[in-house]
Structure 1
Amino acid sequence: MTRPDTAPVRQGEELPLDALRGAMRGRVAGDVDALTVEQFPGGFSNLTYLVRAGDQEYVLRRAPLGPVAKGAHDMAREFRLLEKVSPALPAAPRVVLLVEDAGVLGSPFYLMERRRGTIVRTSLPAEYAALPDAPRRMSEALADTLADLHAVDIDAAGLRDLGKPEGFNRRQVEGWAGRWRRARELLQGSGDLPPPAELRDDLVIAWLEANVPAESAHTLVHNDFKLDNLMLDPHDPSKVRALLDWEMTTVGDPLVDLGLTLTYWTIPQQPGGVPNRIGAPAAGQGFLTREAFLSRYAQRSGRDVSNITWYEVLGHFKLAVIVLQIFARYRLGQTQDARFAPLGEQAVWLVQEAWRRISRETQAGAPFEATE
């Protein structure tokens, strides 16, 4: 979705402008004959472009190049989700046009409004340098927006059928375990992954399966909620202009979102190997600690977060799966994006960190037995 900084379109990811003009003509405002396209450089999944039609600006999203998993990168689903969410949650952008004909651009795509603001990725941007409490304010905005997302009435918004909330947590483990094993098989013999006894991936899966909690509630689950998916007011980091990247949103246990958010908040490197100076142990002064973030969310949402370790372990494992899938596509030559080269090592670190958290939990008195 929208990013504050655009760049020329990456080689191999260009859009056929004549076909795009034809799909837009008469269906959106603006001069499509004066169409220009740039690309938003962030993100590792769907491709996102800034499309200008004269004085009108839109954001275009489409699936990544190469083979994609069945059911993934469903642009029609994402479009229809935002149609229902945006009236109930101001942070959700308004969608404009859906084109399901894959013959136009090579895959279905949609256009949405462009919103402007600041996105904070791995360090404090210049516009916040003069605001001494900016780290605290954006931290609180992140926690509050997550709680507000989970407060959306899924029945009133017509969103309950978006997923199958009953048994959500167990299906999460089963689904992500299957994706991990398939990606691991693609890399078999490559030397990119350590042996199972060192990696501990099967032990992580076994622990998650053995300790699945009942769903704490049934709400919207964004499934990729993190600071750089928020667009903030450049002058006031406590104000959220937009919540971005809705492709994996479903209905399920809200603490699954919280666990993944804490994973992003505390890892020393973001996907791609970029140092994480926000939220991680070595973060700059003023950001909420993990514990303060948990407390803020609990206070805003009224939810019990005492069983958060299981959700954090799942968060680490899910992120490991996502980055390993992308890395496998890179190693198999399905994409040439050099940003993907470090993702194999990062997937390994995430799985091993999940095991370290399990080890601390079991040492604290929660018994767990599994064979290597």
Structure 2
Amino acid sequence: MTIPFRDTITVRKGEELNREVLEKFIHESIEDAPPGDLEIEQFGAGQSNLTYLVRIGEWEAVLRRPPHGPVAQKAHDMGREYTILSNLHPLFPTAPKPYIYSDDTSIIGSPFFIMERRKGIVLDKEFPAHVPYQPELGKQISEIMVDKLVELHQVDYMKTELLKISRPDGFMERQVGGWIKRYENAKTEEVPGVNELTLWMQKNIPVSPKPTIIQYDYKLNNAMFSEDFREMAGLFDWEMATIGDPLADVGVALCYWADVADFKELRNELGNGAITAKEGFFTREDFLERYAKKSGRDVSNIHFYVTFSYFKLAVISQQIYFRYYKGQTNDERFSRMNQTAANLIEFALLSTRGL
């Protein structure tokens, strides 16, 4: 017997939605929503935007909103993510279909959008208890992860309107400068090696290949798999997607993709690293080799992109900690994110030295 895999929790205290007002909005705005009472649960794994399951009878959808409190400039833009999904879903169906966006803060207290509900298995820190793991499964999942990234990078962005919200020219230069500035804005303490790292990145920006659509947060726990793990049933968290350097996307994927050769501290910081380090999963080298073969791209400068991705992840961790430090969230999961940021900066420095 298959044991149902539960991916939602009771809504966390302080993150509740106004059920009555939201129910009225859904009934008035989404044609497919049936009459009936609204039920709300929360997806518990995320550490940035807040994501909820909204249900009326058998009908289900997903609502995304920014975190509570002040947020970094240009971050958590629900309208932008809705636009990305609206353009991308018809060409890349693995991205969920969005239903509606609203910037009316009287409904739930912030802008938000509602999209279709996908069902399947999301792998975070371990496999569900009902899934018997074999090394062949790790290889199968690894191949899907690489092939789906190649597929995304093959989507013709000229068939979308994403150029209206993207600037592919000078992408990496802006990224390096922008993320350094974000770090400075969220800094709460001095961390050894930051200046050395940022100078290295500024001096070593490579020439980018032809731009593509990039997801820019491509990792295992943003993907959903079918119950038999033969296909990717959904890919989520499109907040940072844009048209840019495809190798930046690969760098992010490799940054999150821990393998068996990694030291314990790095695997711990990568969260789902314990999964990709299992026997059967690709090593980073395997991942990169398959991507290069399938995409035909030169990956000889990937060293820079992985280093930058560690730094980018450090900045995101520091931004999350900054909200906790300023009392804008009481979520205890965030109380040590400054140490996570410092560790990732250390890993980035080791990466610049080829370690």
The bucket for the TM-score relative to the shorter chain is over 0.9
CA shift at 1:123, angstroms? Answer: 2.3
Aligned counterpart, 2:62? 59
CA distance in 2, matches of 1:4, 1:162: 36
The answer to whether the 8 Å contact 1:268/1:277 transfers is yes
State yes or no: 1:11 paired with 2:13.
yes
CA distance in 1, matches of 2:230, 2:202: 38
CA 1:275–1:70 in 2, change beyond 3 Å: closer, same or farther?
closer
CA distance in 2, matches of 1:352, 1:131: 34
How many pairs were matched up?
343
Alignment of 1:203-214 (within 5 A): 203-214=196-207
Q: Which of 83, 86, 89 is the matching residue for 1:86?
A: 89
CA shift at 1:343, angstroms? Answer: 1.3
Alignment of 1:185-264 (within 5 A): 187-188=188-189, 193-194=190-191, 199-235=192-228, 237-264=229-256
CA shift at 1:4, angstroms? Answer: 5.2
Aligned counterpart, 1:334? 328
CA 1:348–1:130 in 2, change beyond 3 Å: closer, same or farther?
closer
Aligned counterpart, 1:20? 22
C-alpha offsets along residues 90-137 of structure 1, whole Å, 9 cap, x if unaligned? 201111121121221111111111010011112233343155411111
State yes or no: 1:346 paired with 2:329.
no
Matched residue SS, 1:133 = helix
Q: Which of 143, 158, 168 is the matching residue for 1:140?
A: 143
The answer to whether the 8 Å contact 2:41/2:52 transfers is yes
The answer to whether the 8 Å contact 2:135/2:279 transfers is no
CA shift at 1:72, angstroms? Answer: 1.4
CA shift at 1:26, angstroms? Answer: 2.8
CA distance in 1, matches of 2:11, 2:278: 33
CA distance in 1, matches of 2:256, 2:135: 23
State yes or no: 1:294 paired with 2:288.
yes
TM-score with structure 2 length normalisation? 0.93
TM-score with structure 1 length normalisation? 0.89
The answer to whether the 8 Å contact 2:220/2:272 transfers is no
CA distance in 1, matches of 2:295, 2:59: 38
Aligned counterpart, 2:261? none
Aligned counterpart, 1:276? 273
Q: Which of 326, 349, 353 is the matching residue for 1:355?
A: 349
5+ residue gaps, structure 2, are 259-265
CA distance in 2, matches of 1:97, 1:210: 43
The answer to whether the 8 Å contact 1:98/1:110 transfers is yes
Matched residue SS, 1:328 = helix
Aligned residue type for 1:76: G
5+ residue gaps, structure 1, are 362-372
Aligned residue type for 1:11: K
CA 1:130–1:45 in 2, change beyond 3 Å: closer, same or farther?
closer
CA RMSD across the alignment: 1.6
CA shift at 1:160, angstroms? Answer: 2.5
Q: Which of 299, 309, 314 is the matching residue for 2:303?
A: 309
Amino-acid identity (%): 41
